[in-house]
Structure 1
Amino acid sequence: MTTEATTTDLQAFTRDWLDWYRAQEERLADPHGFLAITGLHWLHDGPQRFPDAPGSWWTDGEGVHVRLDDGEELTVGGAPVRGTHHFGVLPERGGVDAVWGDAVIEVARRGGNDIVRPRHPDAPLRTAFTGTPAYAPDPRWVVTGRWLPFETPRPTTVGAAVEGLEHVYDAPGRIAFSLEGRELSLTAFPGHVPGRLTVLFTDATSGVTTYAANRVLGVEEPGADGTVVLDFNRAANLPCAYTDLATCPLPPAENRLPVAVEAGQKIPRERGGA
């Protein structure tokens, strides 16, 4: 390959990475993104009021309920709601967004618990956000691995950013690869898009230059020959890297890599990162 071709390829690689990085930042800093969260409220069977949401909230065997005061209104599924509204039983990792003025009230279920998590565009964490530090993209952190599917998905319990909370995922397999002269593997979970995979991991940079608890890597569907591409330049922070009001999963024990992955997003400035 000529020097000119190599330079062109590197420029295209960097442009693609910048597009990914900007999309990550835009989702994070959306007016109703994770930086806009002002409270993480755990529901129980008695009505509760919260300073950043309207009405009284509770949960029971029939799901989540809210009782709005006179003059209060939410919009759920495009329809105005007044008085008492029943959200029903929410699926694990599912939820409903209820609009309240310029805010969104997230009603969700995490780790077997129903929660209310208001998101206000004027939240100080969001308005003060200046971006996430990251390593410069480098093609040497793009690794081709082998997909090793399990005979049947394995239920895998992991901890969470919130103490005492657990998440359970059905792991479809693991990815074996070589990095820094070491033979390694990572257990993968299903991605948000069918066929894609998600990997939660830590490495020797965790707690030093990258967030201590976890990073996440999205992985394209394995090829027909079982090859999998891991682009660690796209190792991203989860919301818990920025706010204590997130319930992010932690990596399974086997996903603690003994090498330093000096790629992807670093410790956010909100957590003291440079």
Structure 2
Amino acid sequence: MSTTAPAPKAQVERWERFRNGRNSALAADHGWLTLTSFQWLESEPAAVELVPGLWSTDGTTATLTASAAAGLTLVGTGTPVDGTISATLQDEESLMWVQFGGADGTQVVVELAMRADKYAIRTRDNGSAVLTEFDAVPTYEYNPDWVLEGRFEAYPEPVDVPIGTANPLVDGVHRSVGEVVFRVPGLPHEVRLHAEAEKLGALNVTFHDETNGNTTDEWRKLGVARPRQDGSVVLDFNRAINYPSAFTPYGTCPMPVAGNSIDVAVEAGEKLPVGRIV
């Protein structure tokens, strides 16, 4: 779509504030731009890459053994790890568990995660080049033509739909609470996208479109404000954003539900991060 009139100034300013907040959040310490590894834990205590200590799991509990000389401390308290510690998570939970490195001993945080009912660790290093070289996520210019009216059709009960994720060894589940339905100029049919519930009644839709693999990542997501009483919603695709897996190979981000596709190029929102090729 091509716009025929410039966007109202206030609309553009709100979008620019959104973009500034988004870039600031991505640049946070130990955020998604700092991931430097994803490693499954084994049943026998063993060394892992990039982290001191011996790591293992019995399937229920994760265990770390290290001496004080290794420099590992607990996130939050700074208590040195000297001996064996353990933690237990439920599937899809994460724990920022221990830290080490740098002048203050907190450069690298080790995240313990349970994915596909298996334990893994991810290292989050503030010295990662992805973070230190980050400026902002490239985007399309704001286009008011990609602010679309639609409606939300809620299901009687949520439906769990199996999906893939950015990690081929991890399956996911999309808890669909209904469908967002809208029209895109130029398409002869309505678009229907499965939606997940977010806080305070908001929705999240994960979608493919024809820019994927060209100017955008393989899929993106869009937050949708809480539907009005009549079920109507506004979809502002200028606010479509990348999942963390667009920036790092160590994410386990959910793919769209099969059929969550828009059969045109959605030239709005975030593009491929600088340096990424798909």
| TM over 0.5, shorter chain | yes
Query: 2:230 aligned with 1:225, yes or no?
Result: yes
Deviation per CA, 1:13-71: give whole Å up to 9, x if none.
Answer: 11111111122222222221111111111123222322322321122243222112232
2:68 aligns to what SS in structure 1?
coil
Alignment of 1:114-193 (within 5 A): 114-182=119-187, 183-191=190-198, 193=199
Residue 265 of structure 1 deviates from its aligned partner by 0.4
Aligned to 2:250: 245
Runs of 4+, deviation exceeding 4 Å: none
User: Which amino acid in 1 is paired with 2:154?
Assistant: P
Q: Specify whether residues 219 and 111 from structure 1 end up closer, same or farther in structure 2 by C-alpha distance, changes over 3 A only.
A: farther
Match of residue 21, structure 2, among 20, 23, 26: 23
1:205 aligns to what SS in structure 2?
coil
User: Which amino acid in 1 is paired with 2:9?
Assistant: Q
Q: Specify whether residues 85 and 157 from structure 1 end up closer, same or farther in structure 2 by C-alpha distance, changes over 3 A only.
A: same
Report the number of matched residues.
Answer: 264
**Contact 2:12–2:142 under 8 Å retained in 1:** yes
CA distance in 2, matches of 1:63, 1:179: 49
Percent identity between matched residues is: 34
Alignment of 1:52-71 (within 5 A): 52-71=50-69
Stretches of structure 2 lacking an aligned partner (at least 5 in a row):
none
User: Which amino acid in 1 is paired with 2:96?
Assistant: D
Aligned to 2:87: 87
Residue 76 of structure 1 deviates from its aligned partner by 3.7
TM-score (structure 2 length as normaliser): 0.88
Query: 2:105 aligned with 1:107, yes or no?
Result: no
Residue 77 of structure 1 deviates from its aligned partner by 4.1
User: Which amino acid in 2 is paired with 1:202?
Assistant: H
Deviation per CA, 1:76-97: give whole Å up to 9, x if none.
Answer: 4425152211111x12322111
CA distance in 2, matches of 1:15, 1:113: 44
RMSD: 1.9
Q: Specify whether residues 124 and 79 from structure 1 end up closer, same or farther in structure 2 by C-alpha distance, changes over 3 A only.
A: closer
CA distance in 2, matches of 1:75, 1:164: 29
